[in-house]
Structure 1
Amino acid sequence: MRELTVYLNRDGLNTVETDERTVRASQSMALLLENHGKPTHIHFHPDDDLAALGSITEHHVFVPKGEWRRVELQFMEAAAGTGRLEITAGYGQEKTTIDVEAVPAEATESTEPSSESTVQADHETDSEQSPDGTLPLGLDTERLENPIVLGAAGAFLLVVILLAVVNPLAAIASIVAAAIMAVGVGGYLAEWDPFESDET
């Protein structure tokens, strides 16, 4: 529920102050009367436009010194429009006016992002795999995790490192062999074996 604090006697005898002069609310709003001085009588005077939108629970409130009171302005169902609420203290000695806009509850809810759409957007952003278990580039994760492929790649990498230390020329030859091996691995991942002979 929308709330608005009304400060009484804060800046002098019978003064009435609010932090906002225009309020937008749906269904209902609460006025919190906070008294900073002597006991005070408060009167609420809604204009005709505001009275047509709803009603106030109390038109006359007595607020003791150092205490506070709560008054609610309740709108009719699907109320929409603007009105003015006058608040007076000390039997009209001091007053302030608030412009009130009543809006349907659906209007305030439509301004907030849908939690369902937010969750769906997060899911699409965080998801890195398609439902069939393939990476974005189309490589099958199960084939990449095959022990034969992983073992062969690890063994070959170890051989290349050893040859590079012992004999650079042998390392160059190993790189050429790596290119041939890459063709074979690529064919495996693509479900095509370049060395498979055609059956007749």
Structure 2
Amino acid sequence: MTDELPVHISREELHALEVPASFEATGSFDIRLINHGEALHLHLHLDDPLSEVAAIDAGNHYVEGDSERLVRVTVDRDRVTEEGLLGKLKVVSAYGAQTRWIDIELAEPAPEEQSVQVDESLAQPQHTTQESDPVVENPTALVLGLGLVAVLIAAVAAVSIADLLVVGGALVVVGGVLVALFFLLQEG
């Protein structure tokens, strides 16, 4: 399956359209408008069943002479059933000079085969070594150290600011550290 539908314009004669009879896609796809002649307008239209699940940005498209242009057909895969969907795309050149119909089939994407490569090393026991952190092994020392730092900061603040409120706050910090130390020693 391809995700690009080619539409050749004016290759053999002016405003002539060359399109495949059918096209199959598994989701959103592009229509590649390939103009081999003069500039013209091209009209694209999805029939009713196809327009229920797909949309084109605009119906009319101006294609410069001797140029290519991509037009996106956005498909809502959630609205396509497992059986897929059949519809038609109408392509009209130069305000009706030529009209062509393309059978469009929206199909389920082929399931992707996902495999995991496993070798014999997976069956061997894995040896892990953990480096121990002495601070984490002894949480009492960590709490004691942090409590000491908190008391020092509170004492320095109380002495340097010498405000009654700051001294009260320092006493609260010292009391909190003492309570924490009490509970920590109870567990140990």
Asked if TM exceeds 0.5, the reply is yes
User: Following the alignment from structure 2 to structure 1, what is the Cα–Cα distance between the partners of residues 113 and 40?
Assistant: 43
Instruction: Give the ranges of 4+ consecutive aligned residues of structure 1 lying more than 4 Å apart after TM superposition.
Output: none
- 1:16 alignment partner in structure 2: 17
The letter for the 1-side match of 2:23 is V
User: Following the alignment from structure 1 to structure 2, what is the Cα–Cα distance between the partners of residues 66 and 74?
Assistant: 26
* Counterpart mapping for 1:34-73 below 5 A: 34-73=34-73
The letter for the 1-side match of 2:46 is P
User: Following the alignment from structure 1 to structure 2, what is the Cα–Cα distance between the partners of residues 48 and 54?
Assistant: 10
Aligned residues: 119
CA contact (8 A) 1:57 1:73 kept: yes
User: Following the alignment from structure 2 to structure 1, what is the Cα–Cα distance between the partners of residues 50 and 31?
Assistant: 15
- 1:152 alignment partner in structure 2: none
Q: Which of residues 90, 93, 118 is equivalent to 1:89? A: 93
Aligned-partner SS, 2:100: strand
* TM-score normalised by length of structure 1: 0.53
User: Following the alignment from structure 2 to structure 1, what is the Cα–Cα distance between the partners of residues 53 and 87?
Assistant: 8
The letter for the 2-side match of 1:56 is I
1:25 to partner: Cα distance: 1.4
* Counterpart mapping for 1:127-146 below 5 A: none
- 2:25 alignment partner in structure 1: 25
RMSD (Å), alpha carbons: 2.4
Partner deviation per Cα, 1:68-126 (whole Å, 9 max, x = no partner): 111011111323211100100011111211111223xxx3141x433x16x56xx7xxx
The letter for the 2-side match of 1:74 is T
1:54 to partner: Cα distance: 1.3
- 2:105 alignment partner in structure 1: 101
Name structure 2 gaps, 5 residues minimum: 125-188
- 2:152 alignment partner in structure 1: none
Identity %: 26
* TM-score normalised by length of structure 2: 0.56
CA contact (8 A) 1:36 1:65 kept: yes
Name structure 1 gaps, 5 residues minimum: 133-200
* Counterpart mapping for 1:162-181 below 5 A: none
- 2:149 alignment partner in structure 1: none
